[in-house]
Structure 1
Amino acid sequence: MGSESMEDISGSLQKLDFHHPYTPYHVQEQFMRTVYNVLEAGNGQVGILESPTGTGKSLSLICATLTWLRAYKSSRHEVALSAATSNIQDEPEWIIDQMLAQKRDELLREWEDRERRLEQLRTKEKALETRVHKRRRLEERPVGRETDDEDAAFLLQDTESPGSGHTDALSGLSKESREILGRFGIGGATSAETPVAEQLMDEDIKIYYTSRTHSQLSQFITELRRPTFPPSLPKSMTEGRDSETEAVKLLPFSSRQRLCINPSVAKLGSVQAINDRCAELQQQKSSQKCPYVPKDELLSQTHEFRDSALASIPDIEDLHQLGKSLGVCPYYASRTALPGAEIITLPYPLLLQESARDALGIKLDGNVVVIDEAHNIMDAIANVHAADIRLSDMKRAKGMLGVYVRRFGKKLGGVNRVNVGRVGRIIEGLSEWMQQATQLKQDNGIVDANDLTRHKGIDQINMFELIKYIHESKLAFKIQSYVAHVESENDPKGITRSSTPVLHSLVAFLVALTNLSSEGRIFFERTAEDVKLSYLLLSPTHAFSSIADNARAVILAGGTMSPFEDYENHLFPSLAKEKVTTLSCDHVIPPENLCVRILAQSRPGNPEFEFSFQKRSDRDMITQLGLAVVNACSLVPDGVVIFFPSYGYLDEVVSMWQQNNNGQSIWSRLESRKALFREAKGASSDEMLAAYTDAIIGTSSTGRGALLLSVVGGKMSEGINFSDRLGRCVMVVGLPYPNIASPDWKAKLEYIESTTYEQLTGKAIPPNEARAQAKASSRDFYENACMRAVNQSIGRAIRHRGDYAAIVLVDKRFGSERIRGKLPGWIRSGMDKSNKDKNLGELMSSLGTFFRNRK
């Protein structure tokens, strides 16, 4: 946003109470004011905000967004009350006042009724427990087959109109269940027959909060329970009241896999199998209806589930347990709480996929979207649209289809027989291409989609129609269920059974084929044992546009968001610059608690450290690196963590360090100073972290500390806290650029360069200048990916206000202004201003002074 508007609004927000449960730091105040500013401006505003881990980012997000929401709703109520009397301005003043007082009373009564009901539910645990004991235990309720015909569970239902299935928020439910949920306003208008006493006030504007993992969402909900917020009523209606707070109405959304309480469905394990089986049990022709889906006889339980969810601040486990105790499906019943919720939490895939939002009844229009841990949002978008299949999968799929057709072929109706045949042709065609790929000279590359679909006439099949049929008939689930049934009978111990959902993987890949555009590519990769086809989304722009174009405001927040340019250029490329607000907060630690140095060479006159792909195998440079680490470990107390560019390079360095040099290896010298730990690809990070921690502060600690050799982008570089004694020094060796020779990165960079060139020439920029700018854009994207990974690794060290650590960047390239500019602001502020390129002697002097002053 423009600096003038920022200053004006910020000035008015200086005295705003954000209802923070503690006394906020200056950086937290700055962060909350910026978030509030973006939300208040609305109209498609975007905030890209960086607040280092340990600065209370989640709590600041909560306080800023909910303070704004309550203030916004209060002002909306005031405007609505004024509008209600605007058409009677010609009447006497006492009539207008009386009308206004009546409207205020109606609003207050409705608000009080809701709050009273929710408060009663908060104290109703004993009554709920009594009900649980009266109800039959969940595990004792029969959900088994209700037909003697074993084939019925696996046979495809005959239908001559495969396109007639539902695709709205209640997709897959029976007519009865759709009508029940429709009474709550889910999937249709609220029924006039629904008693007013059973309705709750709808919240017109909501905050959708998403993060990467289930544990991060749980932590957010825990933080949400700390602060209290004022009522959403106008202040004139709450003055002098006993209660000046209003509980937050939270609804956590999740998948069936986490919420299903039907034992026979939940035990299936995979997301695809659970989704298909759940939907199958709701079909009107199904002889095995799920007993937990909301219906007339569960109406009171569904109401109680809705109200209980909004009365507390539940996490996913709480909703699952609530559904079990009431005997109603939490996956479907939670949707009835959506209209009354103020804040909805959900994992990345449920927000980023438009089809998932539609299935849950989520409408982003005019609402606020908050994306936390947003440094990996572009990768997350690519992942939810990615798909891959293997030649070994296709061989198994062919075998499964054969088993199924031999058993049920004669019982399949016309539509089913035709579409099963089409699936068979696709399996044959893809297998044929992949079999031929085993003879190709190169091991990987880009695949032309037309070449891929030419085999066995796949290109003659209407893929959209077939995918729709597969989803509605549950073909993949039926076939895989039957094959699993046959395998369990032939092999009761499950020795040869496979749980890999190969047919679901095939369907996902077919969906990707239909989505092919300039933004996507298909790649092949050949190994000694297999061939894999993968679909990769090259740009997140189109996939994210349904969020960016509809939301009132979007907040991207993270601990390490720098550099910011990629989010602006690839998530919001057409957004006016004045609609984007960026902020990089300082850390809450005092300046003397951070020491950032660049190690450019071992000593004056020696070759400089440059761990580029061409130079990093230099034996002398690796030896000098080892000596630098030995010296650092002599000065740094407790834990030292070193991040290398890749597992391969880490192995190469360790191998060289272990070789004897003048009778003693660098490795043995390191062992004499610190307990040594080394991250291995695929190994358990929990076990290594526990052993590393124990060596520093546990029972096996000898006081000398420990050294952990890790990898940028590995398990230790994200989500692991090396706080306090675990990370007194973090070193980053080299710049971990992605492999530019890999087919996927070549395709990404070519895509960015070509699309940027087209955009620039469309603006009448001369071709030569446009080409140069396009190349610079692709270079920036490549460089930014590297620096985001570096910044994530750096962020592992300082985790709270009292923490302190040294950060050493080992490579002369870190000294360039271009690279330094892509580091977070709080890291740059900790750098030595006098000399950006240090040698080992100067580094040791700085580290010695730093740690002596911390004692």
Structure 2
Amino acid sequence: MTTTTTTTNKPPENDDTIDFHHPYTPYPVQLEFMQTVYSVLEQGAGQVGILESPTGTGKSLSLICSALTWLRNHKRQKFDAGFEETRKQMEGEPEWMVEIALRRKREELMKRWEEREERLERLRKKERELEEKGRGRKRVRVEGGELGRKRRELDEEEEFLVGDWGDDREGERGGEEGGLSKETREMMAKVGLGGWKRGDDDDGDEGGGEDEIKIYYTSRTHSQLTQFISELRRPEFPPSLPSEMLIKDGKEETKETIKEITLSSRQKLCINPAVARLGSVSAINDRCTELQQSKSKDKCGFMPHAENLKQTHQFRDTTLATVPDIEDMYRIGKQLQVCPYYASRTAIPGAEVITLPYPLLLQKNAREALGIKLEGNVVIIDEAHNIMDAVANVYAADIRLSELRKGRQMLGVYVKRFGKKLKGENRVMVAQIGKVIESLKDWLEGQLQVKGDQGIADPNSLLKSRGADQINLYTLMKYIQESKLAYKVESYVTHTEESQDSASTSPKSSTPVLHTLVSFLTALTNLSTEGRIFYEKLPGVENPDIKLSYLLLSPTHAFSSIASSARAVILAGGTMSPFEDYKAHLFPSLPPEKLTTLSCGHVIPASSLFVHTLSSYKPGAVSGSDLFEFSFQKRSDKSMIKNLGLTLLNICSVAPDGVVVFFPSYSYLDEVIAFWQSNDGSSSQGQSIWDRLASKKPLFRDASSSSSGSTSTDDILTSYSAAIASPPTPHKGAVLFSVIGGRLSEGINFSDALCRLVLIVGLPYPNLHSPEWKERIEYLESTCLARGGNKEEAKVEAREFYENAAMRAVNQSIGRAVRHRGDWSGIVLVDRRYEMERVRGKLPGWIRKGMSKEWRDDRGVAGLMGGWGGFLGRRLEFHGRH
């Protein structure tokens, strides 16, 4: 089954001759996907590809094979071009001289390549031997330098008092990931690591440097990156050297291991127990950079330095030799007693593929801290359906009134102990921080008395109290980041708590309150036309609370540095439809000729998919409760909810194995289940719809993580799976009630018996009356008008974005089913609005193609059951033939 949407910049006609070195025989849809990726990368110069390939079609492996094939071919072409350039430069010279020069150049290149490969192969062999001995995954407790000594009594002033501001200010980088101190950078430069380049005493050439094209691959979570790296180890690719140079002893070298490195945060990679135990990202970053300062009494023994240069180079070579995931990076650093967070940067010049999670790619200061340069390189963003939300989340920040009160208390405890010791500018800056906290606290306390639970906050009004509006927030932020005050205050309060009786009433520092303040102030200083600040009152009778939140309304500006720098950007995902938002909000200025879109079909045969839109309960209904329309205004209609329950009863009578039902929200799921359990939802026999459903199949339900007594996702899935795997009876299995956009709608694999039928109830349109969506719509309309559009065009553009947000969530939920070629499932879209062409057109191509006319009519539940019965019959017939 294949289907393709309109594709700009078609792959060259000879793309079918490319050997993508796929470890298996690729399906036609995989070939089409790989050819498109190759074409986008080959054209380069600001090309963008937005590609959709359903889960189960081998998307990750297709990305790897196409991108790495292109990279090796591109390198080979560069070598050939270099030889051609040498020939041009020697034009007019005798041919024998030209040949000698070319031969020497080839020999030099080959020698470097062979030495590197031999060194890496020795390390691979060593790693295999360690794994065979059972030591490969064992994490040994490391005691380095001062870390093994008994903890001595802290000298409070030396440990917690901020130093004179300015001592170590030069060259400090702010931001979540932090940077290297001036002293550390100078030291690393001396040992050949400055700027992440090799020095004269390096023990090998990586055969490339910063000017070689690299592939930056990013995904949402470390577990997804780990899965990608596992796939990266499957294929084998020929070396990037010209074929004529690879003949050795009459045989041609046929493979070269992929050079890959994983980048991550200190929180994931820190091997210093005294730092890693701090837990929070901000506290770990602050403590790490503090240990690099010239006045620090406890230098971190794991930092790369002159004495452990050999281990640092061994770390670099071992990682480049073994295609490591994040756990491997941590383990290798432990074994070699060298910091993986900093040592990993030495591997960047020699790496071909660099994997990293979203935040490290999306934040410019994080990229700078890690030494990432996107200019001229390839960026592949996987699971890209949520990339716009990811950009917004990276720049989001919030703070609660309760946190501000706690932060003020903590600052008070700190000033009471060290106030007289603070000198000059330190005293002024600490006082200013107190004023900012007090002003934000005053504003929120005042807002608690105002009617309404939520609204928009004017950033200028937040700092009007206590004279805080006269404070230079940029200077204040620089001070907080460079002095590490937040870390020192929270560390001191924690220290005092440990020293006092457990019944003490002193403020507890279980959360990094001042770091939360730093994040919010960062957002406050980064305000632009694309951002807004909102307030929201939080439930609580005895201790009412309220929070401020910064929301990025558009990712355009934040993403522009990536879009404008990279040679090519690939957005890939299982459910990217609808495509329009990515074009409009990530690449608004991109010429059409530089954009390629592709929607691949599924690898399953047509007989494995049943898609039906159910618009009514009874045949031919055109109005009333027999119609299924779960809009906000109509969804509480009790007759319609009862009809939905009866429909599900019919389905559970014949559907085998697992049935997954997705609702628009947790609150509506609660409302529907409550009705089904009530007397209003009873049959003439007095048995509730819920009880009748339970007699057909065991019932399981998801609840929001904030709900009291909420069961964990793993526990729900374990119980649901166990019920399906229990000894079968006719049509037994289980029903799982979940929520579109909820905990079970993304990243969960409902393959095979876990989901033979998925029902999507309604459309999850966001609340247009919420302050956030009011501002989004207003922003979209105003930007359209600013570009020269009229009011009607502005409203259409805003409506498109609004509908697309709902349909992306629907498509993600649909994607939980049909996970591999041998899988099969039915999809039922319960709402008459799915009959609208505008809505249906936003479904993935393979779903639209599965909507045959006989399954898309108005014959109500009877038509659904007839279509489903026919599908199951054809499934049995197909299974009998195969």
Q: How high is the TM-score relative to the length of structure 1?
A: 0.95
Correspondent of 1:811 among 814, 819, 831: 831
Aligned to 2:841: 821
Correspondent of 2:313 among 299, 303, 315: 303
Summarize deviations over 1:334-358 as a string: whole Å, max 9, x none.
Answer: 1111110000000000000000000
Aligned to 2:345: 335
Aligned to 1:766: none
Summarize deviations over 1:521-571 as a string: whole Å, max 9, x none.
Answer: 000001242010000000000000000000000000000000000000000
Give the residue type in structure 2 aligned to 1:746. Answer: K
Distance 1:609 1:731 in 2: 13
Distance 2:611 2:82 in 1: 55
Give the residue type in structure 2 aligned to 1:257. Answer: Q
Matched, 1:520 2:542: no
Correspondent of 1:464 among 450, 474, 479: 474
Cα offset for 1:159?
2.6
Give the residue type in structure 2 aligned to 1:201. Answer: G
Cα offset for 1:123?
1.3
Cα offset for 1:150?
3.0
Give the residue type in structure 2 aligned to 1:837. Answer: D
Summarize deviations over 1:720-779 as a string: whole Å, max 9, x none.
Answer: 111101100000000110111111111111101100111125xxxxxxxx1111110000
Matched, 1:687 2:715: yes
Matched, 1:554 2:552: no
Distance 1:180 1:311 in 2: 23
Give the residue type in structure 1 aligned to 2:526. Answer: N
Aligned to 1:848: 869
Aligned to 2:785: 757
Aligned to 1:201: 208
Q: CA RMSD in A?
A: 2.4
Matched, 1:152 2:186: no
Distance 1:102 1:200, change over 3 A: closer
Distance 1:170 1:473 in 2: 12
Correspondent of 1:773 among 793, 807, 820: 793
Aligned to 1:351: 361
Aligned to 1:798: 818
Give the residue type in structure 1 aligned to 2:740. Answer: V
Alignment of structure 1 residues 483-498 onto 2, 5 Å: 483-491=493-501, 497-498=508-509
**What SS does the aligned partner of 1:831 have?**
coil
Cα offset for 1:20?
0.4
Q: Is contact 2:178–2:289 with CA below 8 Å preserved after alignment? A: no
Aligned to 1:533: 548
Summarize deviations over 1:182-224 as a string: whole Å, max 9, x none.
Answer: 6545427644x33464665326110000000110000000000
Cα offset for 1:836?
2.7
Distance 1:213 1:182, change over 3 A: farther
Q: Greater shift after overlay, 193-202 or 804-813? A: 193-202
Cα offset for 1:171?
2.7
Aligned to 1:765: none
Q: Is contact 2:5–2:597 with CA below 8 Å preserved after alignment? A: no
How many residue pairs match? The answer is 843
Distance 1:152 1:34, change over 3 A: same
Distance 1:178 1:846, change over 3 A: farther
Q: Is contact 2:165–2:479 with CA below 8 Å preserved after alignment? A: no
Matched, 1:426 2:439: no
Alignment of structure 1 residues 412-811 onto 2, 5 Å: 412-491=422-501, 497-527=508-538, 528=540, 529-606=544-621, 607-659=626-678, 660-662=682-684, 663-682=686-705, 683=710, 684-698=712-726, 704-761=732-789, 770-811=790-831
Give the residue type in structure 2 aligned to 1:124. Answer: K
Distance 1:778 1:5, change over 3 A: closer
Distance 1:516 1:92 in 2: 66
Distance 1:170 1:16 in 2: 43
Q: Greater shift after overlay, 48-57 or 77-86? A: 77-86
Alignment of structure 1 residues 106-145 onto 2, 5 Å: 106-125=108-127, 138-139=142-143, 141-143=145-147
Give the residue type in structure 2 aligned to 1:78. Answer: D
Aligned to 1:46: 48
Give the residue type in structure 2 aligned to 1:213. Answer: T
Q: Greater shift after overlay, 158-167 or 121-130? A: 121-130
Summarize deviations over 1:138-176 as a string: whole Å, max 9, x none.
Answer: 136533678963321111001347752433999334625
Distance 1:614 1:369, change over 3 A: same
Distance 1:558 1:160 in 2: 47
Distance 2:243 2:588 in 1: 41
Q: Is contact 2:260–2:320 with CA below 8 Å preserved after alignment? A: yes
**What SS does the aligned partner of 2:348 have?**
helix
Distance 1:852 1:280, change over 3 A: same
**What SS does the aligned partner of 1:708 have?**
strand
Alignment of structure 1 residues 346-385 onto 2, 5 Å: 346-385=356-395
Distance 1:729 1:125 in 2: 46
Q: Is contact 1:50–1:583 with CA below 8 Å preserved after alignment? A: yes
Cα offset for 1:21?
0.3
Q: Is contact 1:596–1:807 with CA below 8 Å preserved after alignment? A: yes
Q: Greater shift after overlay, 782-791 or 73-82? A: 73-82
Q: Is contact 2:192–2:202 with CA below 8 Å preserved after alignment? A: no
Distance 1:5 1:695 in 2: 47
Q: Is contact 2:401–2:444 with CA below 8 Å preserved after alignment? A: yes
**What SS does the aligned partner of 1:715 have?**
coil
Distance 2:295 2:28 in 1: 62
Q: How many percent identity over aligned positions?
A: 57
Give the residue type in structure 2 aligned to 1:454. Answer: K
Cα offset for 1:703?
6.1
Distance 2:118 2:384 in 1: 38
**What SS does the aligned partner of 1:244 have?**
coil
Give the residue type in structure 1 aligned to 2:805. Answer: A
Summarize deviations over 1:581-613 as a string: whole Å, max 9, x none.
Answer: 100000000001000000011112543211100
Q: Is contact 2:5–2:598 with CA below 8 Å preserved after alignment? A: no
Distance 1:695 1:674 in 2: 9
**What SS does the aligned partner of 2:379 have?**
strand
Distance 1:195 1:163 in 2: 30
Structure 1 segments unaligned to the other structure (5+ residues): 762-769
Aligned to 2:303: 293
Give the residue type in structure 2 aligned to 1:17. Answer: D
Summarize deviations over 1:673-728 as a string: whole Å, max 9, x none.
Answer: 11111111223111011101110114798861111111111111111111101100
Distance 2:594 2:205 in 1: 42
Cα offset for 1:413?
1.0
Q: Is contact 1:111–1:201 with CA below 8 Å preserved after alignment? A: no
Alignment of structure 1 residues 266-285 onto 2, 5 Å: 266-285=276-295
Cα offset for 1:112?
1.0
**What SS does the aligned partner of 2:566 have?**
coil
Distance 1:624 1:533 in 2: 42
Give the residue type in structure 2 aligned to 1:513. Answer: L
Distance 1:128 1:611, change over 3 A: closer
Give the residue type in structure 2 aligned to 1:101. Answer: R
Distance 1:533 1:732 in 2: 34
Q: Is contact 2:398–2:520 with CA below 8 Å preserved after alignment? A: yes
Summarize deviations over 1:411-469 as a string: whole Å, max 9, x none.
Answer: 11111111000100000100000010001111101111111122222221111111111
Distance 1:440 1:182, change over 3 A: farther
Structure 2 segments unaligned to the other structure (5+ residues): 877-882
Aligned to 1:767: none
Distance 2:730 2:299 in 1: 63
Aligned to 1:21: 23
Q: Is contact 1:170–1:178 with CA below 8 Å preserved after alignment? A: no
**What SS does the aligned partner of 1:525 have?**
strand
Summarize deviations over 1:258-311 as a string: whole Å, max 9, x none.
Answer: 100001111111111111111111111111100100111101100100010101
Cα offset for 1:97?
1.3
